[in-house]
Structure 1
Amino acid sequence: MPTKSLHIPTADGQADALAAFPDGGERHPGVLLYMDAFGVRPVLREMARELAEHGYYVLVPNLFYRHGPAPVIDLPEHIGQEIRPAVFAQLMPLIETHTVERALSDADAYLRFLTTQPEVSPRPVAVIGYCMGADVAMRTAADHPGQVAALAGFHPSPLVTDAPGSPHRLVSKMTAQVHLGLAENDMPPKAVSELNQALDAAGVDYTCEIHPGTVHGFTMSDTDAFNPSALQRHWDRLLPLLESALADR
């Protein structure tokens, strides 16, 4: 499965990215995959390849490109609980400077780049996000309703906050089919209920479920949070969503 390194022009420079896609010269539905807080690394490359094997062109940008190419910080092969505090001490300044304004400006650039690749079909795309990437994915889908036909978020950062721009307040702008897969500790029950109420009120075609026995980060095989059965359940939800939303467009 071919992969290649790319550079995406943005308002603030160039974002490095990786792409995975089927070989053979045909065009395929596009998927924009937003990383978790640990960044673009081998586990995300493998997830992109897995998606590409199902017939998608998958673009994975380095959201922290303003601070350097991926990997922006040195990461061990396995991110265990004992080193998480030290890793997040390095990551938090990067996360804090990735503002909503920057995220939306970058999303414009990522979608423009993705949809103009010769291997990508001229149709709406899917946006997938993990951890902090789920927040960005929701904002991207809300800001580009005509371009995003499918939205998936897994073990997201909080999607319900008191902020005027909380992701759950944006769902009325979406036209995408949506799936959200939460870990048991991602959001309190009241917040999950409020999220579902917002999606219901907006008339969004969605599913939202809590993966039992999981903690935040359950899809990432290079962390202690990894849960193999939950990762499989994630694929069991994600692939039909993409097939339904993108196949006939």
Structure 2
Amino acid sequence: MITQSHFVDLPTATGSMRTYVHRPSGDGQYPAVLFYSEIFQQTGPIERAARLLAGHGYAVLVPEVFHELNPAGTVLAYDDAGRDKGNADKAAKPAESYDSDNRAMIDWLAAQPWYDGHVGAMGFCIGGHLAFRAALQPEIAATACFYATDLHSNTIPNGPGQHSMDRLAEIRGELLMIWGKQDPHIPAAGRAQVYQKLADAGLDFTWHEFNGQHAFMRDEGERYDAQLALTGYRLALDLFGRVLR
């Protein structure tokens, strides 16, 4: 399926948010996926992943997750300086601000003639957490979270009762949780903690742990695992195909 790409600057409660839109070309209506990047925003690997999803018949929105803290169009490099800046931005943005970002994208989608009314979420690294955060919105029917950081910890600033794991009762859709066993950012004890909380809450979720490192989906760098990435995409597309169509 041939795709097209453009961006929109959406008004949010915390300022204008550049959002990249990748969707099938031509006429037709399609389900949407809110796709959340790593701390580096829309890098080449994130854009390619978004276009891959779009090529399977989805309108994919990639927001700049730290739009309040950077000029529009900012992309951080996969190096020490980029990592330090991205982690500083993560520590500076309250979790509640992502809720208004999600609301802005969902409301904008509702006015688009190519949107069919079904929406899911997906993300890598902190984006896995932000996809999980998006699942708090009632419209989100399916969410694929890849090695979601900070769910097991309290490292994203938030107010009382505002940590994502404190609001599990608000999740209505199905979750796909994918992890790497060799990921130092989410150790086995942290993964077990998240699993138990999801199970105790009675959520509809599927859980996969692979022999992979952190960022095994990223098609740049030494941690990329093409076989695992293909498996991950198939699992996510299966979820979206079952639930959003």
Give TM-score scaled by structure 1 length.
0.87
In structure 2, stretches of 5+ residues that fail to align are 156-160
**Match in the other structure for 2:167:** 170
**Match in the other structure for 2:158:** none
**Match in the other structure for 1:25:** 27
1:39 is paired with a residue of what secondary structure? coil
Letter in 2 for 1:190: A
More strand by share: 2
Letter in 2 for 1:21: R
Q: Which runs of 4+ in 1 moved over 6 A?
A: none
Give TM-score scaled by structure 2 length.
0.89
- In the alignment, is the contact (CA less than 8 A) between 2:40 and 2:75 conserved in 1? no
d(CA) in 2 for partners of 1:99, 1:7: 21
CA displacement, residues 136-178 of structure 1 (integer Å, 9 cap, x when unaligned): 2212212x12x00001110211312368544333223211111
For residues 199 and 52 of structure 1, do their structure 2 counterparts lie closer, same or farther at Cα, with a shift above 3 Å needed? same
**Match in the other structure for 1:130:** 124
Shift of 1:55: 0.9
Query: Identity across aligned pairs (percent)?
Result: 24
- In the alignment, is the contact (CA less than 8 A) between 2:147 and 2:186 conserved in 1? no
**Match in the other structure for 1:217:** 215
For residues 13 and 187 of structure 1, do their structure 2 counterparts lie closer, same or farther at Cα, with a shift above 3 Å needed? closer
Shift of 1:87: 2.3
CA displacement, residues 55-100 of structure 1 (integer Å, 9 cap, x when unaligned): 1111111112221122344x2xxx3xxxx33322222322222211
In structure 1, stretches of 5+ residues that fail to align are none
Letter in 1 for 2:229: L
- In the alignment, is the contact (CA less than 8 A) between 1:160 and 1:167 conserved in 2? no
d(CA) in 1 for partners of 2:21, 2:85: 26
1:2 is paired with a residue of what secondary structure? strand
Count matched residues. Answer: 235
**Match in the other structure for 1:154:** 146
Deviates more, 1:227-236 or 1:89-98: 89-98
**Match in the other structure for 2:73:** 70
1:172 is paired with a residue of what secondary structure? helix
**Match in the other structure for 1:119:** 114
d(CA) in 2 for partners of 1:223, 1:71: 20
**Match in the other structure for 1:106:** 101
- In the alignment, is the contact (CA less than 8 A) between 1:59 and 1:114 conserved in 2? no
d(CA) in 2 for partners of 1:29, 1:138: 18
Shift of 1:35: 0.8
Q: Once superposed, what is the RMSD of the aligned Cα atoms? A: 1.8
